[in-house]
Amino acid sequence: MKRYLEAGRLNAPRGLKGEVRFSCWCDSMEFLSGVSKLYLDPEGKAYLEVERMLPHLGTIVFKGYGDRTSASALNGRTLWFDREDVTLPAGSWFNDDLIGTPVFDLRSERTVGVVRAVEERGGRFLWLIGDGETEFLFPPAPEYLVSVKPGEEIRIRLIDGFAPGTES
């Protein structure tokens, strides 16, 4: 599992006091509210210290970037957070941890592939599941999802025709 996960991208400054617009790729900016450092690389070697996070405005102020000119140097930078700095609610997981996890369908009693990617479409997540020959998008809705153990196994219940090979 990766220790540092993508948090989002910094955009143009807002105002004169170093606020930087932030496009959050997490569920919400509130998820990151307790994080004191955001990293400039996926290895966690360089970081910015958070001075203030303003989720209602979608902006962040970093220590040492207290004016518009210095904040503008951050425009376009991708940021990562340390998974050890956040707590997930019970029954939740990071999407990155699902990649490569085998998916077992209870109805057909067979493994239908592994999670190859997690995509966001229309405001919801879809899992791209493939076995090397075929791929399909799966909506991880409660009516189809039985159990999730990231990195170990995902158990689902597909309906007929939902995925290749599930036609009756």
Predicted pLDDT at 157: 92
The length of the chain in residues reads 168
- Give the number of C-alpha atoms closer than 13 A to the C-alpha of residue 10, restricted to the C-beta side: 25
Angstrom distance (rounded) from CA 162 to CA 75: 42
Q: Could you read off the pLDDT of 20-44 as tens digits, one per residue?
A: 999 998 888 899 988 999 999 999 9
The residue-averaged pLDDT of 98-102 equals 95
Name residue, tokens 């309906």: 159
Predicted pLDDT at 27: 81
Residue 158, strand partner residues = none
Q: Pairing between strand 37-39 and 102-105?
A: unpaired
Percent of the chain with pLDDT over 90: 65
Predicted pLDDT at 17: 85
Predicted pLDDT at 42: 96
pTM of this prediction? 0.78
pLDDT grade, residue 51 (50/70/90)?
Answer: very high
Instruction: Provide the mean pLDDT of the chain.
Output: 90
Cα distance from N-terminal residue to C-terminal residue, the chain: 37
Residue 118, strand partner residues = 127
Angstrom distance (rounded) from CA 27 to CA 86: 13
Q: Could you read off the pLDDT of 121-159 as tens digits, one per residue?
A: 887 889 999 988 889 999 998 899 999 999 999 999 988
